[in-house]
Structure formats: structure tokens, C-alpha cells
A and B are shown apart, each in its own frame.
Chain A
Amino acid sequence: MESRKTMTDYRIQGATGEWEVVIGLEVHAQVTSNAKLFSGASTAFGAEPNSQVSLVDAAMPGMLPVPNRECIRQAVRTGMAIEAQINKYSRFDRKNYFYADLPQGYQISQLYHPIVGEGQLLIDADEKAGIPEDKVIGIERIHVEQDAGKLMHDQHPTMSYVDLNRSGVALMEIVSKPDMRSPAEAGAYVRKLRSILRYVGSCDGNMEEGSMRADVNVSVRKPGEEFGTRTETKNVNSVRFVMQVIEYEANRQVDVLENGGTVDQETRLFDVASGTTRTMRSKEDAHDYRYFPDPDLLPLELEDGFLDECRASLPELPDAKRKRYENELGLTLYNARELTAEVETFARFETLLAAAATKIGKSEAQVATQVANWALSVAPGVLKSLGDEADPANATAQAQAGILAMQDKGEISGGQAKEIYEIVLKTGRDPEEIADAEGLKQVSDTGAIEAAIDKIIADNEDKVAEYRGGKDKLFGFFVGQTMKAMQGKANPAVVNQILKDKLG
């Protein structure tokens, strides 16, 4: 059995024919907030175990939760960013189960009345990945809930330790509809969601630190048939792993079905080392969580003023920004996408664009393409080639704008721009000063160029005759010879003009 990707559809090729994969994701995103969802304790990552635990987080007798307004605000802003229904009335429910990392014996979550209802997210076409066109993925809901603590099994030969630093940290659970049909779509969904969360500032999207993780729901069916039974693989913490889980699970389920078995509705775990999943608990062992409204908390009622503030504080979002880059800045779709995918990328680009436009004295739209090419390919290339020799702190917008301005005026060539930038990155010196001091400037002095061309014409009479006889291709030869004679420092435009004049 092997998977086959076509232009339009991802299918598992089974013995009995093609199978379609149906995927839904529940993404848990840690809310960016200095304090936990229901207690004042800090949320910083990497602190000493149990150093960020309030009486509430440790579930001491008589302790009560009080909602943290900032966490609610971030969930609402996230909902607005995915164009979702914001529920002005929502409620917290208790999800009851026993575990050593769950001090209260229940998790405060929102089952019956989540704060955010239906919304949607657009994943971008990516033909290479098998996504032929843009696709809208439905989002069922977002609710807020408490994170649990962490068990540590490697501290003692026979005992497990508990770290409650994470206990009570606010999570958003973002539940998609079962709208994805391939690992690539799921990967694109997670990347896009992460991008939006980071734009909004409601989650740092750091999957390695566990700030974002996904429960992956997978089922298979013959195209056009009813949904199959799904499995849920818990706590997958990278885009690549999400895609691996789907690939593995879909193939496993097809195997089971084609061998006459049935897929069990169960919870599974992903094993990173082997790239496989295994049963965590079956439906029979499924917890009865005994959800009921948390009597310690009043229903959450959002006022219009609060919602207005949430909306007003939203930044330009990735899709809108990409369209603006295309339509107003005239960038290519590719460049616009690359520049808007990450918060840091567009932030750097927009700073550089503003600086370059000012320095050059043109509008942003007039210089955008030049700046985009610089920002996406030239500058990262130089930085990478220098390795440790570069001090990234020297990569200021002012310095880069200076280089771009010299290039725009024809004072330096593309090659010289790279050389100057290398020195900038190594030393932090001023680019104009470098150009002067290091002789990294194009010669636009027509006298020097004319002299060089006169000599080349004199030395190559045969070629001149051929050219004049109609062999236009030889023009490149004369340009090359001239540039060589000028040691690459001649302004190509000036060289072209003089050559044309002299060759007739």
C-alpha cells in the first residue's frame, strides 16, 4: 500500500480501491498572559518546579477561581481574527477526573457554552504540496480552559514528582470541523492558525515549549460515503508530527478495514521515535467526565464596550496584509505570502520598506519590489554565508536602506551591495562610508569608460565588423570586455549607452 498524491486529491490506494482521509484538529494554544486563567500566579516558561503555584493552583481547601480578564480578552480577539461568532454569554464547566497533575480533581473548561462559536480559516493554495487552490477550513468553536500540571518520572527511582507551574495556565482549545482531507492541508491549517495567533498576540505559537499542541482526529472512508469511525491522537507538538500521525493513522485504518476489521473509536498516542501511534485508552475505558457548570463561577457576560475594544485592538491579519502587499505594493503572490507568513518577517520588512522609501525619496509602492527581493533573498543569503562572523544586530533598517538607496541611484552594483552588506554585518560601519573607503562604487565617469571601450574596439576590429554586419549577439561580448577592463565597477547602464553610441 502506498499513498499517492494527485493534483486535486490525496488518496490512500488500498487493495479495494481509493480511500479518502477525513481530518479534524483540536489545537490547544496557551494564551499569552502574565497570569493564569483563574489565579494570579505567573506563567513564565522554564521556572523552577512548583515556583509559580498559587493556593488556587494547588487546590488548597476553600480556594476559589476568579477569571483573568486578559485571558478572556485574548480568546475573544482570537475569535474575531477567525471571523467567528463571539458568544456574549458563555459559561465554565467542570471536567471531572482524577490524575496527579490535576490538583482540583477537575479541569475548568467550557463544554456547553463556549466563548467563541463558528468561524473559519483560509489555507493557501500550494500546488507542490497537493493543495491546488485556496481552501476554507471551518472552525467549530474556541473555548478557554485550564492546563494541567506536569508529572516528572525521572527524579526518583520509585516515585513520580509533580510540577504545578503549568497547572491553571490558560489554554484556548480551537476545534476545527472535519474539513481537511490530506496531511498537507492539516499542516497548512496548523501553520496558518499559528500565524494568526501570533499576529493577534494571543499565543506565542511555540510548539517546542508546548505552547501549541494538537489532538489529531483521523478517519477514512470511500469517497462519497459516510464518515468512518475516527481515532484521536493526543498532544502532537509539531506540524511535521501532525502530518506523520495522519499519514500513519490513515494507512493503519485502511489496513484494518481492508482486513475485515473495524476501527475502534479510541484515544491514541504518537510515538515520535517510530513515527507510529498506539492505543492510549479505548472507548470502554473512556472517562466519564461528569461535566457540569462550575458553581464557583458566574456565567461570563461580555459587554459591548469590551468587544469594541477587542476588535479595535486587532492588527491587520495575514490574509488582508497579503492582499495589500499584492494590490498596493505590487508584490508577487509568492513574495507577499513569504513576507506575511511570520510576524517577525513582515515587521522587519515594513520597517525596512519605510526606511528605504524615505532614503530613496520614492513611495513605498515604487520601492517595494526592490526591498522585497532584498529582504527575502539577498539579505538572508549574505547573512547565511557569513555564519558566525555576522553580528545580526548590525542588520539595521537604516544600514540596509542606505545600501538600497545607493543601488537605486546606480552608485553601486548588486554585487557591490552584497559586499558592502557583508562588511556592515561584520563591523557595523556605515554603508556609504564603506562604499567610499573600500572603493566599492560603480564608475559612471564616461571618460574612463570611453577610454576603455576605445581600446577594446581597437583590439577587436574583426568582432566590431561582425557586429556591424548584423551579429547583434556580440553586444554582450563588448559589455563583458568593458566590465572586465573596468574591474566590474562600471555602471552597466552607462557602459551600454556608450557602447551603443560607439558601435553605431
Chain B
Amino acid sequence: MSDILDLGVKDIRDGVAKGDFTAREVADAFNTAVAAASELNAFIVTTPDHATAAADAVDARREKGEDLGKMGGVPIGMKDLFATKGVQTTAASHILEGFTPQYESTVSQNLWDAGAGMLGKLNLDQFAMGSSNETSYFGNVSSPWKKDGTNAAMSPGGSSGGSSSAVSARIAPAATGTDTGGSIRQPAAFTGICGIKPTYGRCSRWGVVAFASSLDQAGPMARSVEDCAIMLEAMAGFDPKDSTSLQMDVPAWEASLDADLKGKKIGIPREYRMDGTDEEILKSWEQGKEWLRDAGAEIVDISLPHTKYALPAYYIVAPAEASSNLARYDGVRYGLRDLPDGAGLQDMYAATRAAGFGDEVKRRILIGTYVLSAGFYDAYYTQAQKIRTLISQDFSAAFGECDAILAPTTPTASFPLGENQDDPLAMYLNDVFAVPASLAGLPAMSVPAMLNADGLPLGLQIVGKPFDEQGVLNAGLAIQQRAGFDAKPEKWW
């Protein structure tokens, strides 16, 4: 059955519908693969029963000739930031270890309603804070990729590192991710897969453990642009339980996929040509332009003048919101409670939060608390919000001259686990190309372009106009067709 593991969302859905194989066969194959891949540490918990139950239901519907759904028969991995009813939901933290929600997030419910099943809850950076998947309480996630000639465990990127690892290792055909400042795109780029962060508000945040509410967006991670289009259709939609949810119909992205870019203009932002950017990254960017030109697009130079302020602004806004969003983990109602002998309420808070949060989470809570403090608020938070507005205006102006923007996804390829751990600033730089689109709430996608000289994947990023996921997916498809990226990691796990 090893060939089933090479299949993506579309192939499985269509194969099940046609009767080439049963959904149960697919679920069994992936459950087996997941169980055999514990060395990757991609999953925090596995849920084979969920996957088989969903598969059996799809098979039963097929027997009766009923509609199988957009994701009928496709088992997926669920990032452990989405609340899943009756299944432990931890955000990869100690403080939520053992927490079992009595509710299902809107996005995961949408996927189950579309016929998908769950292989398990995927590891991630704790509370989605990290770019290498080294901050999880449940241990690092390893990328299935290795640098040529070395055996060091490589980072799958973060925060959706369990998702990227599992999908690139082909132990899941697709997975959910969430992207606050690059957490779908950067891990996708590091592992040679596709991932799209839709326009802010496309996917409901209800039931997703919050990191930074004004930035958090869920999206799919899969091995092809088509698979991302299919899965995003299943995930997205207006949700009255989320005030920031977009009250718009979900377009037929899959049916409208079109790699012909004639008449389209693709912008190349000159400010993204930064010092210290890897030569091979720049080369892949040049190659990307050629591919898009070949697809019929006109390549134009654009300017996004406030780009250099994006990362600092992001590292004010996101921690500020996080410091408040994470206040609810206090040991009072659920999750970890550390109550030393004779402790009062304040002692309980201190002990619980000291034991329950990892270093990176604490660092961001401290930064966020600081920038919101009296006397610092205007200097930091207010300024950062102004920058955010300027960055949005940069994009609006640029989209007067082009239909989409092409840029690298990351400034480097993946790095060995542990390499950047002691230097948070170096780690934060991973997201320098990803963060501007997050601050502006724009749809953005990473698609694999090529392997670098070390045999590691490099991704290209397409950023689109608000609500124009279709334009992003189409440009992504044009690159995918020309890149012909079919490298897969050597199995070592």
C-alpha cells in the first residue's frame, strides 16, 4: 500500500469516489505510517480511531450513493492548536497538558463535515510561538529532510512544524496549519510543501487557541497547490461565532484554478532584496520570475517602503496580544494548577504559570506586558499600529501596479535543530519575508521551488490582494507546473 502514502488530497478524494480504493484502506495506510514515524515526533497524540471512523462513514455513504464531501475519505493531521472535542488539545504546552475540550473548533468541524478524518494532533511550537519547532513542551519535531552528507536533525520550521514534517514525510496527505507571522509558509518552505495563509477572516478562529488575535489565520498545508485549494475550500467560511470572520461566500477555488497568467502583473518588491539573504534564495527568486513570465505574466518592480519596520512592529503587536490572550491560563478553571503549600492566589498564579509556560512563551508574555505598560504604550504599541497601517498602505499602493507579489518565503533554507536556539533575534529573522503580509492580513502562499546545493528545499512566496486567494493559487500553480518539484526526503525514521 506504499503508493497510497504518495497520494495527495485530490488523488485520495477522487480515488475513493471512483472506487479505486476505500477510504478505510487509505486511513489504515496512513495510521500505520504515523505509528511507524514516531522518531519525527510530529504528533503529540495520534487518533487512529477518528481516522478510521471517518473513513468508514465515507465508505458507507459511497455505498448508498451519497455525496462524499469536498474532502471525502482524506485523513489529515490537525495542528494541536485547534480544539477537538474529546481529544486532548495542548498548544504544545505543559499548562494545557491533559486538557480535553468539550467543543470542536469551527475549522476542524468544517473539515469533518467535508468528509475528512483525523490521524492525530500535530506538534507545534508552544502556543505557536517559534520558527523551528523547538519550543514545544512535547519535544522538538524533526524534519524528514537532511542536509546532504550530514545526519543532524533539521528543523521543519515553525510554528506548524508537526504539520510540515508529517506532510513532507508522507505520513499525512495534508494538515492544518495556523499562520500568525509565517507559521504556515516558513515550515512549508523548509520542507518542500505548499501552504497558504488566506485573507484574515476567511477561516474562523473560533476554537483555535489564540496567539495574536489580529494576525492568527488557519490554512492548509499539503503537497500541491490543488490540494491546498481543495482543503482551504473545506476550512473557510463565515462563522457568526467569530466577530472578525469575513461575511463572504467561499469561492470555488479548485474549479477556478488556472495557471495561465496572461495579462497579469507580478510585482517584485525591491526592499525584499536584503543584506544577508542567501545567494541561493536570490537565485530561486530569479528563477521564479522566469517561471511566471513563462506563464504569461508581466514582471514589474514595485516598492514596499516600510518593509524594514515590519518585523519590529510584528514583535510588538503579536506579543502584546499574546500577553493578554494567555492570561486565561491561570490554574483556576482548567489545565495545570501548581498550588504550593499555604499558597495564596498570587502564589498559585506565579507557580502555575512558571511551571506551565516554556521560555519562549514567557519571553513573549514579558515583551507584550512591557510594551503595553503605562509609559511605554505610546512608544511601542501605538507606533507599531501606525507602522502596521503604513505597511497596509504600501501593499494597497503596490496592488495599483500589480496583481500579486513574488518574494522568497524565507531568507535561508532549513537549519539544524539547536543552531539558533540561543539567539532569539536570529530566530525571529526567519519570518522577515512572511510578516508583512500577516500585518496586512493578505493571502500569501509558499510553494516549493527547488533544492539548494545542500539538498534542502527552498520555497517561493506569492502575496495577493485581499480576498484574492484565487490569484495567489493560480500564480502558485504556474510555479508548481514549471518547477516540477518532485524531490522527496529519504526515509530514515
User: Is B one of A's binding partners?
Assistant: yes
Known: A62-B208, A296-B213. A288 touches B373 (CB 8 A): yes
Q: Which residues of B contact A397 (CB under 8 A)?
A: none
Chain A window 253-292, contacts with chain B (Cβ cutoff 8 Å), 1 for yes, 0 for no = 0000000000000000000000000000000000010111
Report the minimal beta-carbon distance from A76 to chain B, rounded to whole angstroms. 18
Number of interface residues of A (CB under 8 A): 30
Known: A61-B96, A62-B208, A100-B345. A288 touches B374 (CB 8 A): yes
Q: Is the CB of B96 within 8 A of A66?
A: no
A67: Cβ under 8 A from any B Cβ: yes
Q: Is the CB of B103 within 8 A of A290?
A: no
The distance in angstroms between the C-alpha atoms of A59 and B210, with both chains bound, is 11
Within 8 A of B (CB), among A84-106: 94, 96, 98-100, 103-106
The distance in angstroms between the C-alpha atoms of A55 and B328, with both chains bound, is 13
A297: Cβ under 8 A from any B Cβ: yes
The distance in angstroms between the C-alpha atoms of A288 and B323, with both chains bound, is 14
Q: Which of B134-142, B237-245, B354-362 contacts A (4 or more CB under 8 A)?
A: B237-245
Q: Which residues of B contact A61 (CB under 8 A)?
A: 83, 89, 91, 96, 99, 101, 209-210, 328
Q: Is the CB of A104 within 8 A of B328?
A: yes
Number of interface residues of B (CB under 8 A): 44
Q: Within the complex, which residue of B210, B327, B377 is in contact with A106, where a contact is CB–CB below 8 Å? A: B327
Known: A105-B324, A288-B374, A297-B243. A58 touches B206 (CB 8 A): no
Q: Which residues of B contact A228 (CB under 8 A)?
A: none
Q: Is the CB of B208 within 8 A of A104?
A: no
A503: Cβ under 8 A from any B Cβ: no
Q: Is the CB of B333 within 8 A of A290?
A: no
Q: Which residues of B contact A105 (CB under 8 A)?
A: 324, 326-328, 330
A162: Cβ under 8 A from any B Cβ: yes
Chain A window 44-79, contacts with chain B (Cβ cutoff 8 Å), 1 for yes, 0 for no = 000000000001001111111111000000000000
Q: Is the CB of A64 within 8 A of B241?
A: yes
Q: Which residues of A contact B99 (CB under 8 A)?
A: 61
Report the minimal beta-carbon distance from A51 to chain B, rounded to whole angstroms. 15
Q: Which residues of B contact A59 (CB under 8 A)?
A: 328, 333
Q: Which residues of A contact B243 (CB under 8 A)?
A: 64-67, 296-298
Q: Within the complex, which residue of A62, A292, A296, A297 is in contact with B320, where a contact is CB–CB below 8 Å? A: A292
B207: Cβ under 8 A from any A Cβ: yes
Known: A65-B243, A298-B244. A98 touches B324 (CB 8 A): no
Q: Is the CB of B324 within 8 A of A290?
A: yes
Report the minimal beta-carbon distance from B86 to chain A, rounded to whole angstroms. 14
Q: Is the CB of A292 within 8 A of B240?
A: no
Q: Is the CB of A295 within 8 A of B321?
A: yes
Q: Which residues of B contact A291 (CB under 8 A)?
A: 372, 377
Q: Which residues of A contact B206 (CB under 8 A)?
A: 62-64
B395: Cβ under 8 A from any A Cβ: no
B105: Cβ under 8 A from any A Cβ: yes
Known: A60-B101, A66-B241, A297-B243. A290 touches B207 (CB 8 A): no
The distance in angstroms between the C-alpha atoms of A99 and B320, with both chains bound, is 19
The distance in angstroms between the C-alpha atoms of A291 and B328, with both chains bound, is 16
B60: Cβ under 8 A from any A Cβ: no
Chain A window 102-120, contacts with chain B (Cβ cutoff 8 Å), 1 for yes, 0 for no = 0111100000000000000
B268: Cβ under 8 A from any A Cβ: no
What DSSP secondary structure best describes chain A's contact surface? loop
The distance in angstroms between the C-alpha atoms of A458 and B63, with both chains bound, is 118
Q: Which residues of B contact A66 (CB under 8 A)?
A: 240-243
How many residue pairs bridge A and B at CB < 8 Å?
98
Q: Which residue of A lies closest to B339 (CB)?
A: A159
Q: Which residues of B contact A103 (CB under 8 A)?
A: 328, 332-333
Report the minimal beta-carbon distance from A125 to chain B, rounded to whole angstroms. 43
Q: Which residue of A lies closest to B239 (CB)?
A: A64
The distance in angstroms between the C-alpha atoms of A288 and B243, with both chains bound, is 27
The distance in angstroms between the C-alpha atoms of A290 and B244, with both chains bound, is 22
Report the minimal beta-carbon distance from B417 to chain A, rounded to whole angstroms. 27
B30: Cβ under 8 A from any A Cβ: no
Within 8 A of A (CB), among B92-110: 96, 99, 101-103, 105
Q: Is the CB of B205 within 8 A of A98?
A: no
The distance in angstroms between the C-alpha atoms of A319 and B466, with both chains bound, is 52
Q: Within the complex, which residue of A65, A162, A290 is in contact with B372, where a contact is CB–CB below 8 Å? A: A290
The distance in angstroms between the C-alpha atoms of A297 and B243, with both chains bound, is 6
B214: Cβ under 8 A from any A Cβ: yes
Q: Which residues of B contact A298 (CB under 8 A)?
A: 243-244
The distance in angstroms between the C-alpha atoms of A100 and B244, with both chains bound, is 28
Report the minimal beta-carbon distance from A280 to chain B, rounded to whole angstroms. 16
Report the minimal beta-carbon distance from A91 to chain B, rounded to whole angstroms. 12
Q: Is the CB of A60 within 8 A of B334?
A: yes
Q: Which residues of A contact B334 (CB under 8 A)?
A: 60
Q: Is the CB of B327 within 8 A of A162?
A: no
Q: Which residues of B contact A162 (CB under 8 A)?
A: 332-333
B253: Cβ under 8 A from any A Cβ: no
Q: Within the complex, which residue of B103, B324, B377 is in contact with A94, where a contact is CB–CB below 8 Å? A: B324
The distance in angstroms between the C-alpha atoms of A160 and B210, with both chains bound, is 29
Report the minimal beta-carbon distance from A141 to chain B, rounded to whole angstroms. 20
Report the minimal beta-carbon distance from B79 to chain A, rounded to whole angstroms. 12
Chain B window 413-449, contacts with chain A (Cβ cutoff 8 Å), 1 for yes, 0 for no = 0000000000000000000000000000000000000
The distance in angstroms between the C-alpha atoms of A66 and B244, with both chains bound, is 9
B52: Cβ under 8 A from any A Cβ: no
Report the minimal beta-carbon distance from B277 to chain A, rounded to whole angstroms. 31
Report the minimal beta-carbon distance from B101 to chain A, rounded to whole angstroms. 7
Q: Within the complex, which residue of B96, B214, B346 is in contact with A295, where a contact is CB–CB below 8 Å? A: B214
Q: Is the CB of A64 within 8 A of B205?
A: yes
Q: Which residues of B contact A288 (CB under 8 A)?
A: 373-374
B369: Cβ under 8 A from any A Cβ: yes
Q: Which residues of B contact A296 (CB under 8 A)?
A: 210, 213, 243-244
Residues of A that sit less than 8 Å from B by CB: 55, 58-67, 94, 96, 98-100, 103-106, 160, 162, 288, 290-292, 295-298
Would you mind naming 11 contact pairs between A and B with Cβ atoms under 8 Å apart? A61-B89, A61-B101, A96-B327, A98-B346, A99-B345, A103-B333, A105-B324, A105-B330, A290-B373, A296-B213, A296-B244
The 8 nearest A-B residue pairs measured at CB: A105-B327, A290-B372, A295-B214, A295-B213, A59-B328, A62-B207, A61-B209, A296-B213
Given contacts A62-B205, A290-B373, 6 further A-B pairs with CB under 8 A are A60-B334, A100-B345, A105-B328, A288-B373, A296-B244, A297-B243
